[in-house]
Amino acid sequence: MAAIGDASYIKKLNRSLIISKIIEHGLISRAEISKITKLTRATISVQAADLLEEELIVESHQEYNNVGRKPIMLSINRKAGFVLGIDLDYRSITFTFSDLMGQPVHTDTVEIQNSNYDEILELLIKQIKDYQNECSSSHFGIVGIGIGIHGIVTKDEVINFVPSHQWKNKDLKADLEKVFNLDIHIDNNANLSAFAEKVFNHHKSENLLSISMSSGIGLGVLIKGEPLKGYHGYAGEMGHMIIVPDGKPCKCGNFGCWELYASEESFLKQLAEKYHKPNLSLEDVQNLLIAKDPIVCDQMELFIKDISIGLNNIINLLNPETLVLNSELLKMYPGVENNLKSHLTSSVSHFNELLISDLGKYACVMGACALAIKNFFEVPELNLTIENKEFDEIIESQWTKMSV
């Protein structure tokens, strides 16, 4: 029995390895897979036959100018199924539908007007059903769902606490699984953003930090390519690191938390107060920056200084190879990376590169899609490439207002 079990396990490992190489290369021949993986051609032929029968991969002939037989190339049947990524933020929920190679197909953004858990759950159920109907003609339909939460998520994927909604101990995964027979996974938004950076942009970076800066501040950490989650899964809540003792009161219960000074939401709130307006949008800020308005320029410099205080602490603590800031606001400010680096003057602060994410506001939802793909294919690592990084050009965003 042990031998049968071992053989089954080895076959599963080989399948995973072959799929991962097909994904990584996009188009690859059986001979090339054998050369890269050191697996025998017989093993690869058997596995490829199974994958073809399951309609997970397809064959095609590559352009070939030499004399002889054209090589038969293998690739993922990207339209055989789809995944759904969900970014559940404070005022909105973003749904991104992608194919099995991580290429976004469609995105909807739904405005939410209150924090009632049951009503938001019903909204999620309705949207998921709509997406199921949309891909019902594909071979596998929806193969998995990933959900990003802007709060604390345990290792058991239970929502422990969401400060903006004041949710405590909500088992969203279980509530959705009562309705859907789907593979559903939930994680913190910053962890998913870090995963997206690794999967889509920084394939070789083993020590990567991603800082999400929209409604609050979250830190996603990859050490040796693996997520750092802490004892119960609570690691990365650097937005609640105190940078101003006895500072502004935070919903977490402390005073002077970093996200009260260095998140996009805090910036917009402070700027609106200075202009004596009820609210300002990122588009408003961009127009003011283009006009070189002195108030917004001064506020940006203060914002960058507050960001750098937290960055200095994080760099000293974790010594990252790659440090990615996920902020639509920072992307608007020319030369911001060098500006930030100019504030990181400590002789003990070491990192390889600091940059602003080109995934932008889609980092979390694309990380959720990537997580669903990884789980579906059961591969140890995932390297994907989005054909066009200008997300606003490849995604038809729809802003739907609902009374929730």
> What DSSP string describes 228-256?
---SSS-TT-GGGSBSSTT-SB-TTS-BS
CA 190, CA 212: separation in Å to the nearest integer?
6
Distance CA 290, CA 101 (A): 37
Which residues fall within 8 angstroms of residue 77, CB to CB, at 6 or more apart?
A: 55, 56, 57, 58, 100, 139
Bridge partners, residue 212, by sequence = 218, 326
Confidence of residue 382 (pLDDT cuts 50, 70, 90): very high
Q: Are residues 54 and 186 in the same domain?
A: no
Q: Tell me the CATH number at 54.
A: 1.10.10.10
Q: Cα 39–41–43 angle (5° rounding)?
A: 65
Residues 129, 9 share a domain? no
Does the pLDDT at position 54 exceed 90? Answer: yes
For the chain, helix, strand, coil in percent to 5 are 40, 25, 35
Rounded Cα distance, 88 and 187, in Å: 11
pLDDT over 50 (residue 247): yes
Predicted confidence band at 302 (pLDDT cuts at 50, 70, 90)?
very high
Sheet holding 104-111, edge to edge: 184-188, 141-149, 81-88, 92-99, 104-111, 397-401
First-to-last C-alpha distance (Å) of the chain = 55
pLDDT at 399 over 80: no
Task: Look at 3-12, 17-26, 186-195, 196-205 and tell me which has the smallest mean pLDDT.
Answer: 3-12
54 and 95 belong to one structural domain: no
pLDDT reported for residue 2: 44
Average confidence score pLDDT of the chain? 89
DSSP letter for 163, please.
T
Q: To 5 degrees, how large is the angle CA 41–CA 43–CA 46?
A: 105
246 and 329 belong to one structural domain: yes
Same domain, 99 and 71: no
pLDDT tier at 391, thresholds 50, 70, 90: low
Of 71 and 250, the one with more pLDDT: 250
Could you tell me the pLDDT band of residue 65, with boundaries at 50, 70 and 90? low
Measured between alpha carbons, how far is 15 from 47 in angstroms, rounded to an integer?
6
pLDDT per residue as tens digits for the range 76-118: 999 999 999 999 998 899 999 999 999 999 899 999 988 999 9
Does residue 173 share a domain with residue 122? yes
Query: Contacts for 50-55 with beta carbons within 8 Å, 24 or more apart?
Result: 50/15, 51/15, 51/18, 51/19, 55/80, 55/139
Which of 76, 102, 121 delimits the end of a domain?
76
- As a whole number, mean pLDDT of residues 180-198 equals 95
Q: Do both 214 and 114 map to the same domain?
A: yes
pLDDT of residue 208: 95
What are the distances in angstroms from CA 354 to CA 24, 219, 311, 341?
25, 14, 10, 8
pLDDT of residue 6: 82
Residue at a domain's end among 25, 42, 76: 76
Domain stop point among 22, 52, 76: 76
Q: Cα angle vertex 141, ends 139, 143, to 5°?
A: 115
Torsion of CA 142, 183, 215, 349, to 10 degrees: -120
Residues 6+ apart with CB under 8 A from 320: 207, 208, 209, 314, 351, 352
Write the CATH number for 317: 3.30.420.40
Give me the pLDDT at residue 360, please.
Answer: 86
- The domain tally of the chain equals 2
- In a shared domain, residues 71 and 206: no
Report the C-alpha gap between 369 and 78 in whole angstroms: 13
Average confidence (pLDDT) over 268-287: 91
pLDDT over 70 (residue 129)? yes
Q: Looking at residue 67, what is its pLDDT?
A: 58
Per-residue pLDDT at 141 exceeds 50: yes
Looking at the fold, whether 361 and 274 belong to one and the same domain comes out as yes
Q: Is the pLDDT score of 72 beyond 80?
A: yes
Q: Is 292 exposed, middle or buried (0-12, 13-18, 19+ CB in 10 A)?
A: exposed
Residue owning tokens 């929502």: 159
Residues 64 and 84 in one domain: no
pLDDT level of residue 301 (50, 70, 90 thresholds):
very high
Predicted confidence band at 396 (pLDDT cuts at 50, 70, 90)? very low
Neighbouring CB atoms inside 10 A of 294's CB total 9
Which domain does 31 fall in, by range? Answer: 2-76
Same structural domain, 247 and 304? yes
Are the C-beta atoms of 173 and 187 separated by less than 8 Å? Answer: no
Say whether pTM exceeds 0.85. yes
305 and 403 inside one domain: yes
Lowest mean pLDDT among 39-53, 124-138, 176-190, 346-360: 346-360
